[in-house]
Structure 1
């Protein structure tokens, strides 16, 4: 069971990376919005999409870990 300890740490790390990406994306979207760029929507979709995808992957891995490996 000690080998599965890395699953919990990895999942928490993925949640943290997702939050950091969302924060960086928020700053980038705000900068684009404040300079009235035409690329604001694409930039927001790109940053928040990556953050959301990473969050969903971490959530699915946590469900798999809690259901089958614990």
Structure 2
């Protein structure tokens, strides 16, 4: 009889342990989902200011590049077209990158 009680006791302990792990796992998943949702809302709240910051940086770099290109053009530098092209495509890239990142993540 003692052997039967040991086997029954082991089964009870095993099922109790599995039940506790199942409940703990379900609770952890609920907390994890809430954490993921909170992180997502925090990240999406930063995209509007970050996009505006990229546009502002693009505007400043555009002005600086325009002045640099004008000064090279005025001095007769033969490298003016390369400078103008790099300035233009850098501004376009910054604007397109900010717009695409915003549309991709939001």
Structure 1 and Structure 2 fold alike (TM over 0.5): yes
**TM-score of the superposition, structure 1-length normalised?**
0.83
Q: Which residue does 1:61 correspond to in 2?
A: 101
Aligned residue number for residue 66 of structure 2 = 26
Pair member with larger Rg? 2
Give the TM-score of the pair, scaled to structure 2: 0.57
Aligned-CA RMSD value: 1.3
| Higher share of residues assigned helix | 2
Paired with 2:86 and 2:45, the residues of 1 have a C-alpha distance of: 32
Distance 1:40 1:10 in 2: 32
The 2-side partners of 1:61 and 1:40 are apart by 31
> Structure 2 unaligned runs (5+)?
1-40
Q: Which residue of 1 aligns with 2:80?
A: 40
Whole-angstrom CA distance in 1 between matches of 2:74 and 2:102: 38
Larger relative contact order (Cα-Cα within 8 Å, sequence gap ≥ 6): 1
